[in-house]
Amino acid sequence: MIPHNETMMLKTPFYSRCLAACEINMWEDWKGYTTPQAYTSVEQEYFAVRSNTGVFDISPMIKYRFTGPDAGAYLNRLVTRDIRKIGVGRVAYTVWCDDNGQVMDDGTIFHLAENDYRLCAYARCLDWLMWSAEGFDVTIVDETAEVAALAVQGPTSCAIFKNMGFDGIENLKPFGLTRYPFEGSEVMISRTGFTGDLGYEIWVDPSLAETFWDRLFEAGKHREIRPIGGHALEMLRTEAGFVQAGVDFIPAEESVRTGRSRSPFELGLGWLVSFDKPVFNGRKALLKEKKEGSRYAFVYLDVEGNKPAEYAFIYDGDKQVGTVTTAAWCPTAKTNIAFAQVDAKYGKPGQELVTEIYYDRELKWTRVMAKCTVIESAVFNPPRKRQTPAPDF
């Protein structure tokens, strides 16, 4: 089913429920779908995920389905990660590159069954998927509109699923997926997410979307469940250290100007590149880069003070060596964090740099040169994210 073209904005399968809950009437355009930026208060929605449970409608995520005898081999050729190691019932985060080793997008691959996979992505890429499929016996279908999906994230999310009757869900490991009967059909649940917290994503037929939402919120009544919008998610993913396509990098295929795209190494995602595989898109270029060095480094910066380093230039002495792509004061980690692109030689943990931050106080703009330090990893990383069995709160 191809979404129709008669209205300006598309509605997700959860739209009626989102609309009813969206008190402050703030909506945004996500790949043509109208989705809430916030429902009641960004702050409360952010904290729902860190203390209770927040629900985010991820239905507009671009979703492709791969079936056929060569599906696995095909994906292994497409992406940088070694998909052979991802068994049935497992999920893998990965990137895929063009032939120049430049990142086209990042996303997750779900190994649904033997010779059956789903890819969730930020950007549409069917054309590239088809090109890469030459010579493989694989069927590729865009199923974006055929699957309704919610991210159910936060420390009480497992307890809520147990309340819904999903027995044994606590034993699902991070990046695992499982299925439960639901209203005569089934719901697929994966322990995945974009918040860095304990959490799950659920995948269900659009006809069951509203029922699922209602049952979920009923089960979460005593667990302080609340829907969250895009603004809260942005804070959550920043604190968790996740890069966002279109913000922290430009998908290679969308990039117009020379040199604006980035390789996995330049995004701190070198761990996703598996040179053990004899062939995959971009391998040759990436091997060359590995040998000769990258142009840029992606870094997490711990910025002194409490002013977010949004859009800031980064200096080493007088020399401008990079720019910030994402910046925020992290409310749980209580740290002023920034993601930045710097010249490769400045990317080592412990490196001290300076960010040039502009901010206004009652219409008076001020500049502060704040010291910052390159840090190894994201600042939010609670044990409950990994614990199996998952805790109740």
Whole-number CA gyration radius for the chain: 21
Site residues for another protein, window 342-361 (CB under 8 A)? 361
- Considering only residues 201-240, where is the footprint of another protein by CB under 8 A? 222-224
Work out whether 332 is an interface residue with another protein (CB under 8 A): yes
Residue numbers 60-79 binding another protein by CB under 8 A: none
CB of 359 to another protein, least distance (A): 10
52 is an interface residue for another protein by CB under 8 A: yes
Q: How would you classify the pairing of strands 91-97 and 199-204? A: unpaired
350: alpha, beta or left, given left = phi > 0 and alpha = psi -120 to 50? left
Sorted by sequence, the CB contacts under 8 Å of residue 66 that are 6+ apart come out as 74, 75, 116, 117, 118, 119, 138, 139, 140
Instruction: Work out how close the CB of 331 gets to another protein at its nearest, in angstroms, rounded to a whole number.
Output: 5
**Between 101 and 220, whose beta carbon lies closer to another protein?**
220
Q: Which of 182, 329, 339, 346 binds another protein (CB under 8 A)?
A: 329
CA distance 51 to 153: 10
**Residues in region 370-389 near another protein by CB under 8 A:** 379-380
| 244 binds another protein per the rule CB under 8 A | no
Distance in Å, CB of 237 to another protein, minimum: 17
Q: Should residue 41 be labelled a site residue for another protein when binding is judged by CB under 8 A?
A: yes
d(CA 99, CA 107): 18
Which one, 162 or 290, has the nearer CB to another protein?
A: 162
Strands (E) in the chain, as ranges, are 26-30, 33-38, 53-57, 62-67, 91-97, 103-113, 116-121, 139-142, 148-153, 177-182, 185-190, 199-204, 225-227, 296-303, 313-316, 319-330, 335-343, 352-361, 364-375
Pair 56, 153: CB distance under 8 Å: yes
Question: Which residue of 115, 335, 341, 351 would you call a contact of another protein, by CB under 8 A?
Answer: 335
DSSP letter at 3 equals P
**Residue 339 to residue 298: CA distance in whole angstroms:** 7
Site string for another protein, 272-311 (x = CB under 8 A): ---------------------------------xx-----
Is 263 or 332 the residue whose CB approaches another protein more closely?
332
- Does residue number 257 form part of the binding site for another protein (CB under 8 A)? no
By CB under 8 A, name the binding residues for another protein.
40-41, 43-44, 47, 50-52, 155-156, 159, 222-224, 305-306, 329, 331-335, 361, 366, 379-380, 393
